[in-house]
Structure 1
Amino acid sequence: MTTAVRDETRDGRAGGPRTALVFPGQGAQKQGMGAVWRDSAAWPVVAEISEYIGMDVEDLILRADDATLRRTDLAQIAVFSTEVLAYREAAAAGALGRVVACAGHSLGEYTALHAAGVLSLADTARLIAARGRAMREAAETAPGTMAAIVKLTTPVVEELTEAARATGQRVWVANVNAPGAVVVSGTAEGVAALEEPAREAGGKLIRIAVGGAFHSPLMAPAADALGIALETADFAPGTVPVVANVDARPHPGSEAWRERELRQLTSPVRWEESVRTLAEELGCTRFLELGPGRQLIGMIRRIATDVERVAVDKPEVLTAI
């Protein structure tokens, strides 16, 4: 069974708002996040994912506590599985509408590739399992952390990180999420070195409880293991483009995604630019966030003020739309 979205503009059956499907990343997880989908027709996909990766995903998304879900590899599988549940239920309910593109934040980019028909469910699940393990091991090899810096522009935060690196600190911009919302990543000392300069510039540094310095050069040790997994995956042409984290550009399905996903490990997530590409260049007027929580909706609200935003985080939302 295929559930890949189709660009309705290609076969003349256009109708409704031009929709972007967006998927959150690690950090969206919470205890019991799969419970709202437990009685849905899509629930058997949880057993499929479990079989593909050799893990009890049902237990993970129904009963695992918050401490367990903070583990990088488990968090990524849990978030992905919940996103697939939301996506399949939305597709079955006819709630996706006229989808013209997909995008995902970090981990969510893999779900976006699946929704766009570029990756099969089996390949996506295996890639995410391999990615999570590789990132966890990289964090053990090169420990690090992340922090949000609010109230400052991206160029200012970039200048602060460059100045810190000039003094020998290891810290980089990791996510450009929205105006005044930039995340940095690096060693604990490198991140701490930004606290006072950020305050002096009129901003504030807020530490994030994560298991590593994601989207920074400290994740480079994960590249070999992820690269092996990527080589075994089949990348299809897909049905709609996916806007990539690394360059904020829309791309069709192709083997070039292997290189993009390797770059994504150590490169910033350019989410603000990605949303602008979806809204301004691709003309998306409705954004559906599929998965646990509403992380992306809040970011999108600050970037594209005149678009419709819907978080599909429970079945009741599908009835409403």
Structure 2
Amino acid sequence: MNHVPVGLVFPGQGTQKQGMGEPWRDTASWELTAEISAVTGEDIAELLLHTPGDHLQRTDLAQLSVFSVALIAHAEATRGDALGGRVVACAGHSLGEYAALVAAGALTVGRAAALVAARGRAMREAALTREGTMGAVVAAPVAEVETLVSEIRAEGGEVWIANVNAPGQTVISGAPEAVAEAGSRAPSIGGKLITLRVGGAFHSPFMAPAAETLGAALRDTSFTPARVPVVANVDAAPHTDDGDWPALCVRQLTSPVLWEQSVRTLTGRLGCRRLVELGPGRTLAGMIRRIDGDVEVVSVDSPAAVPARSVRER
């Protein structure tokens, strides 16, 4: 088992929920909440234990909470030797890319936490400036979704592909009326639009102001060469060079998350035979099984998935 090539994957915004930290509070890695709190000025323990679910929908708080749980889960899985093999690559979905960079050694916890805080604030401010929304088009091929949104843009609508998550699941982003128009036309390509409860038109040109703000924070952040490749959202390619990441992180805010292609890079080019999802929920595991049914997928979303020796006595 220990010779199995493992890829680590980290979820993004939308997986947060009230009390998401409760399962982890008695683990040794819970101490990360204090470190992240000190860097960001937010009470992370309070966010993870007591903050109401509606309040956690706020973009900046959602991102910090998911990022924190992902790092705790990774630390506990590593401490408990629960990864089941040799880690050869990492990837994260949108926000999850920052946890992946920590796991790969490209960023320290503190530097990543500061970037996540800056990113969340900038995205929230951009969304407050320009109203936007997102929706998942299910059951339609991505090429036909791309054609559909291109037609709407040609008519003056503002809507773009935001996430290519898995076969038959493409997320679109843009102005509410343009997203609604795409939803009304989705049946013509065999699809259906599911509206997402989000705070803005993420991964679209509406996030250009946030990209500019985040770029300034990234210029002041030191990256180090990653110990293992991190597959980037924007090009689905593996990167280890510390000089690549500032530009990749800026592009990510206004570019589609190429998750389906990223998983294929992990399981194909990088040879991962086991993918371990670390963080709240099991959203990525569901996508991965639709992308590559031959790869083993495990979700570490609670200490129950980690050997008991890594959990402190109550």
TM range (shorter): over 0.9
Task: Write the letter of the residue equivalent to 2:293.
Answer: T
Query: Partner of 2:19 in structure 1?
Result: 32
Aligned residues: percent identity? 58
**Corresponding residue number in structure 2 for 1:184:** 172
Task: Say whether residues 1:92 and 2:79 are aligned partners.
Answer: yes
Could you tell me how far apart the structure 2 residues matched to 1:84 and 1:160 are?
38
Unaligned runs of 5+ in 1: 1-13
Q: Does 1:51 align with 2:38?
A: yes
Partner of 1:232 in structure 2?
220
The one-letter code sitting in structure 1 at the alignment partner of 2:30 is W
3-state DSSP of counterpart to 1:261 = helix
Shift in Å, 1:62: 0.4
Structure 2 counterpart of 1:263, from 251, 262, 266: 251
User: What does 1:203-218 correspond to in 2, within 5 Å?
Assistant: 203-218=191-206
Question: Following the alignment from structure 1 to structure 2, what is the Cα–Cα distance between the partners of residues 197 and 191?
Answer: 10
1:216 is displaced (CA, Å) by 0.3
In structure 2, the partner of 1:10 is: none
Q: How does 1:6-155 map to 2 (within 5 A)?
A: 15-96=2-83, 97-155=85-143
- TM-score, normalised to structure 1, is 0.94
Q: Which moved more, 1:191-200 or 1:77-86?
A: 191-200
Quote how far apart the aligned CAs of 1:231 are: 1.1
Cα shift at 1:298: 0.2
CA distance in 1, matches of 2:23, 2:221: 31
The aligned amino acid for 2:150 is E
| CA distance in 1: counterparts of 2:53 and 2:189, whole angstroms | 35
Match of 1:193, SS?
A: helix
- 1:298 matched to which residue of 2? 286
Structure 2 CA distance, aligned partners of 1:87 and 1:253?
22
Partners of 1:282 and 1:238 in 2: CA distance: 15
Query: 1:254: which partner in 2?
Result: 242
Question: The residue matched to 2:233 in structure 1 has which SS?
Answer: coil
Distance 2:253 2:50 in 1: 29
Q: Indicate the SS of the match to 1:77.
A: helix
Out of 262, 265, 274, the position equivalent to 1:277 is 265
Find the aligned partners of 1:223 and 1:301 in 2 and give their Cα distance: 32
Letter in 2 for 1:216: S
CA displacement, residues 67-103 of structure 1 (integer Å, 9 cap, x when unaligned): 1110000000000000011000001011223000000
- TM-fit CA distance, 1:315: 0.7
Letter in 2 for 1:303: I
Taking the aligned partners of 1:33 and 1:15, their CA distance within structure 2 comes to: 30
**Per-residue CA shift, 1:131-165, capped at 9, x if unaligned?**
00000000011110000000101100000000000
Aligned residues: 307
Distance 2:2 2:72 in 1: 25
How many angstroms does 1:16 deviate by? 2.4
1:254 Cα shift? 1.1
For 2:54, the aligned partner's letter is A
TM-score normalised by length of structure 2: 0.96
SS class of match (1:245): coil
Given that residues 82 and 305 in structure 2 are in contact (C-alpha distance below 8 angstroms), is that contact kept between their aligned partners in structure 1? no
What's the CA shift for 1:233?
A: 1.0
Cα RMSD between the aligned structures? Answer: 1.1
Amino acid at match of 2:181: A
Any stretches of 5+ residues in structure 2 without a counterpart?
Answer: 309-314
Deviations 1:256-295 (A, max 9, x none): 2000000000000000000000001111000000000001
1:196 shift after superposition: 2.1
